[in-house]
Amino acid sequence: MTDNSTSESIRNQVLELGRNARKASRTLMGWSANQKNHALNAMADALDQQTPQIQKSNSEDVAEARENGLTDAMVDRLVLNDDRMTAMVQGLRDIAELPDPVGRILKSWEKENGLLLKKIAVPIGVIGMIYESRPNVTADAAALCLKASNAIILRGGSEALRSNQAIAGALRDGGRKAGLPEHAIQLVSVRDRDAVKALITMDKYVDVIIPRGGEGLIRAVAENATVPVLKHYEGICHVYVDGEADPVKAWSIVENAKCQRPGVCNAAETLLVDSALNPEWLQKMADVLEARGVELRGDERARKIVGSMKTATEKDWHTEYLDMILSVKVVDGIEQAVEHINTYGSGHSDAIVTDDPQKQDYFGRMVDSAAVYINTSTRFTDGAEFGMGAEIGISTDRLHARGPVALEELTTYKYVVTGSGQIKV
Amino acid sequence: MTDNSTSESIRNQVLELGRNARKASRTLMGWSANQKNHALNAMADALDQQTPQIQKSNSEDVAEARENGLTDAMVDRLVLNDDRMTAMVQGLRDIAELPDPVGRILKSWEKENGLLLKKIAVPIGVIGMIYESRPNVTADAAALCLKASNAIILRGGSEALRSNQAIAGALRDGGRKAGLPEHAIQLVSVRDRDAVKALITMDKYVDVIIPRGGEGLIRAVAENATVPVLKHYEGICHVYVDGEADPVKAWSIVENAKCQRPGVCNAAETLLVDSALNPEWLQKMADVLEARGVELRGDERARKIVGSMKTATEKDWHTEYLDMILSVKVVDGIEQAVEHINTYGSGHSDAIVTDDPQKQDYFGRMVDSAAVYINTSTRFTDGAEFGMGAEIGISTDRLHARGPVALEELTTYKYVVTGSGQIKV
């Protein structure tokens, strides 16, 4: 809570970051791949060298978090142990090795009047990143944005402020040695929420906001931003096992989608089973899942087959458990399955298991999600798994980027039209 | 102005349109190119047949507009004479002839684990179109959205309500005969502004808002929308004539960019002249423009060369005249020119005239605009001129679509991943 004059002063501080970021982004438009990669490696060196100071700042954040009664899980996300520091440093070096996403000719054609048109990938400009707890995001996001020639303004959680400041300081030290513009990487250090409000309404200087964290954070950003937001809310992912499914593959895919890492957004939350499938399939599936410790919540028809299931309520179909819980529903064929997914899903990742090519096509076309899987697990929705390199997040939005947001998604395009004096008649 | 209960009732009406549009959009996901083209031609037939009724409704709008004292220019934009009706009908038939933007394989690759990934163009879903006066937008926008398998909710100006209702009615009559879902094309008929507010905050049912009209309308939409907005504010377009320019081409390009149609967004508003250029070039340029009736407003250095120029103020560099006025500034080389354009321009269309390939590259890379022109006129920024077919507007935003927004820009993509039982390890 702040009075008006404080609020005004915070707004002005953030506007100043924005003005400087815009200037830096204009300089970066002229940077070559070599310049960027050199800077990324220099930033990795600096992070590596400043590891002791970063860990010291981090231990202060961790101590304060414990004092403030943050949960163990939240404290764990905050900790920068040696392994995480090493991974962060290596992450920057890996990004330096990736191909330059800027300058790609996306399309090129000549018109009858002799004009040569090129659609070229260019940086977006200035990216505002708003995130919680994990301080490694500071380095990962800054490196990805820089690789795509964008300037970045970072706003991490106040619980990680010292860690983030230490990391951002190291990145700037490294960058400076490589000639990186001073304001290419900036951190909002004001703890006040007015700073976020200023950042997400600074249309003139910020081109996109990427929020990463809990649903509350993301909704608050999306509702109050005037700058465009690239976001994902949640992953309510489904596996539909069709009457024509290979039963063995289906067991394995469902088990993997639910159990391999239940706390992530591409894990399955609902199993849809075709009523045409032999009931024995679901019985055995339930045995497998229950043996893994999964709690099953079924609709009436599913519970008739597997009596040990709890009763699923309407709320279950809407819920991202992020836990060893799976809701189960029996449907009459693919159309009901698709209808359920498009009604209750979150447009993230949904799978079908079937050997029928027509049903594969139908599912691929009619399920309105970022990633649709045929005879494989939903767990593959990830920039690295897709072969796109590191990702900054996953978008369930429809515009600009859908699915993994990696380097190419951190660029936009412009048209460069070359003529020899043509005029419009 | 409405009381709370009216406001609530309007909101519910618009929400109902949204729910129905979402359902229709899901049906359209399954439509083939043939089905869409058949519907577009049936809609053209219906428009053609119902021309007398449409013109009757239109004449009522026009009469009311005159009574309400709208300017002649505004009344002119409203009128649906025979030529405009014919063009509207033909527009639908032309869109039917364009290639289907949906289903294009944008990229396809196989991973080492045997997964086949396809990035496929798919409809965006539901598009909300908000526009003023010109009733032909009703037909043009509906046809483009349908061709990309999107449902559309149209909200035209209240001055054109009867015309828009008559056109939308004809489109629906034609569509019905071709089996088009009833709610694929809907019009918001409530005149109240609360209806717009409801439309632009209906995230669950509307995927993008495209506003078209004056800057006031577009800003109001952008500031209040929670649904993503695809917009362009204005075109403050520049021509920079470099010291290495071919003088004859430069005269012709500047004249064309300013005079060929000064009232449109891709017309030039500012001429930047390299101080290295022979002053005689600018003298002669001024003669040509003044003979065409252009008012010139120069900075001090320009006025030293051409005494007849008025004095340009800071405001001139920011102004989209849309008129026979041109501001003129002398700069010291390409870097100053680019700096001026990136500071005062609107990121729309900017041109350089030079024979130096290095300067061409520099300008193409460093000017931060949707379309950058080398040795040709800014007037070519247009979907049809680019060979993209009809356009729904021009975007100066950076995300999703930049420059002409035509059929491909009315699609998004999804990933379809096909495996043979792969699971994540």
Same domain? A167 vs A274: no
B233 pLDDT higher than 80: no
- In angstroms, the separation between the Cα of residue B134 and the nearest Cα of chain A is 24
The answer to whether A172 and A138 are in contact (CB under 8 A) is: no
Pick from A11, A58, A72: nearest CA to A161: A58
Scan residues 203-262 of A and list those with Cβ closer than 8 Å to B.
203, 207-208, 222-223, 226, 228, 230, 246, 248-249, 252-253, 255-256, 260
Quick check: A360 and B249 CB within 8 A?
Answer: no
Same domain? B226 vs B274: no
Identify the pLDDT of residue A3.
65
- In angstroms, the separation between the Cα of residue A159 and the nearest Cα of chain B is 29
Pick from B51, B35, B53, B38: nearest CA to B92: B38
- In angstroms, the separation between the Cα of residue B289 and the nearest Cα of chain A is 16
Same domain? A140 vs A106: yes
B2 pLDDT higher than 70: no
The answer to whether B151 and B180 are in contact (CB under 8 A) is: no
More confident residue, A241 or A73: A241
Tell me, yes or no, if B399 comes closer than 8 A to chain A by beta carbon: yes
The answer to whether A100 and A409 are in contact (CB under 8 A) is: no
Q: What is the mean pLDDT of chain A?
A: 95
Q: What is the CATH number of the domain that holds B162?
A: 3.40.605.10
C-alpha B48 chain-centroid distance: 26
Q: Which contacts of B310-316 are long-range, i.e. CB under 8 A and separated by 24 or more positions? A: B316/B270
Q: Which residue of A lies nearest to B362 if distances are taken between CA atoms? A: A30
- In angstroms, the separation between the Cα of residue A329 and the nearest Cα of chain B is 22
Tell me, yes or no, if B88 comes closer than 8 A to chain A by beta carbon: no
pLDDT, tens digit, for every residue of B360-404?
999 999 999 999 999 999 999 999 999 999 999 899 999 999 999
Give ∠ CA B401-B407-B410 in degrees, rounded to 5.
50
Nearest-CB residue to A380 (from B115, B246, B248): B115
Q: CA-CA distances (angstroms) from residue B288 to A149, A247, B248, B249, B364?
A: 42, 79, 12, 13, 28
Would A130 be classed as within a structural domain?
Answer: yes
Q: CA-CA distances (angstroms) from residue A348 to A53, A364, B149, B178, B246?
A: 39, 13, 21, 33, 54
Would A389 be classed as within a structural domain?
Answer: no
Q: How confident is residue A223, by pLDDT bands cut at 50, 70 and 90?
A: confident
Q: Which residue of B lies nearest to A205 if distances are taken between CA atoms? A: B343
The ipTM, to two decimals, is: 0.95
Identify the pLDDT of residue A207.
97
Q: Which residue of A lies nearest to B344 if distances are taken between CA atoms? A: A204
**Distance (Å, rounded) from C-alpha B134 to C-alpha A71?**
59
How is residue A237 written in tokens? 């992912």
How is residue B400 written in tokens? 């999703």
Tell me, yes or no, if A323 comes closer than 8 A to chain B by beta carbon: no
Beta carbons within 10 angstroms of residue B217's beta carbon: 17
Identify the pLDDT of residue A1.
45
Same domain? A218 vs A267: no
Which residue of A378, A410, A414 to mutate against B (max B Cβ within 10 Å)? A414
Our count of domains for chain B comes to 2
Q: What is the CATH number of the domain that holds B332?
A: 3.40.309.10
Total-model pTM: 0.95
B187 pLDDT higher than 70: yes
Same domain? B179 vs B210: yes
pLDDT, tens digit, for every residue of B24-61?
999 999 999 999 999 999 999 999 999 999 999 999 99
Nearest-CB residue to B342 (from A26, A371, A397): A26
The type of residue at B171 is L
B1 pLDDT higher than 50: no
**Distance (Å, rounded) from C-alpha B13 to C-alpha A21?**
44
Domain span at residue A375 reads 237-380
Q: Which residue of B lies nearest to A114 if distances are taken between CA atoms? A: B376
Same domain? A63 vs A162: yes
Give ∠ CA B99-B100-B105 in degrees, rounded to 5.
110
Pairing of β A151-155 and β A126-131: parallel
The type of residue at B308 is S
Chains A and B: how many Cβ contacts under 8 Å?
A: 200
Quick check: A415 and B424 CB within 8 A?
Answer: no
More confident residue, A153 or B213: A153
Which residue of B346, B353, B424 to mutate against A (max A Cβ within 10 Å)? B424
Would A396 be classed as within a structural domain?
Answer: no
Quick check: A115 and B376 CB within 8 A?
Answer: yes
Nearest-CB residue to B226 (from A26, A223, A256): A223
B3 pLDDT higher than 70: no
Dihedral class, residue B229 (left if φ above 0, else alpha if ψ from -120 to 50, else beta)? beta
Same domain? A210 vs A344: no
Would B397 be classed as within a structural domain?
Answer: no
Nearest-CB residue to B423 (from A360, A377, A424): A377
Q: Which residue of B lies nearest to A247 if distances are taken between CA atoms? A: B421
Same domain? B216 vs B313: no
**Distance (Å, rounded) from C-alpha A385 to C-alpha B114?**
12
Quick check: A376 and B260 CB within 8 A?
Answer: no
Would B208 be classed as within a structural domain?
Answer: yes
Quick check: A222 and B222 CB within 8 A?
Answer: no
Would B400 be classed as within a structural domain?
Answer: no
| Positive/negative CA dihedral, A288, A291, A294, A298 | positive
pLDDT, tens digit, for every residue of A361-404?
999 999 999 999 999 999 999 999 999 999 998 999 999 999 99
B76 pLDDT higher than 70: yes
pLDDT, tens digit, for every residue of A242-289?
999 999 999 999 999 999 999 999 999 999 999 999 999 999 999 999
B344 pLDDT higher than 50: yes
Which residues from chain A sit within 8 angstroms of residue B420, using beta carbons? 249, 375-376
Quick check: A415 and B376 CB within 8 A?
Answer: no
Tell me, yes or no, if A370 comes closer than 8 A to chain B by beta carbon: yes
Would A398 be classed as within a structural domain?
Answer: no
Same domain? B27 vs B155: yes
Would B179 be classed as within a structural domain?
Answer: yes
pLDDT, tens digit, for every residue of A159-196?
999 999 999 999 999 999 999 999 999 999 988 889 99
The answer to whether A132 and A212 are in contact (CB under 8 A) is: yes
Nearest-CB residue to B418 (from A125, A255, A374): A374
Pairing of β A237-241 and β B151-155: unpaired
Same domain? A154 vs A217: yes
Scan residues 109-148 of A and list those with Cβ closer than 8 Å to B.
109, 111, 115, 117, 120, 124-125
Identify the pLDDT of residue A104.
97
Same domain? A17 vs A95: yes
Quick check: B398 and A249 CB within 8 A?
Answer: no
Q: Which residue of A lies nearest to B249 if distances are taken between CA atoms? A: A421
Rg (CA), chain B: 24
- The rounded percent of chain A whose pLDDT value lies above 90 is 91
Tell me, yes or no, if B81 comes closer than 8 A to chain A by beta carbon: no
Same domain? B61 vs B100: yes
Q: Which residue of B lies nearest to A415 if distances are taken between CA atoms? A: B371
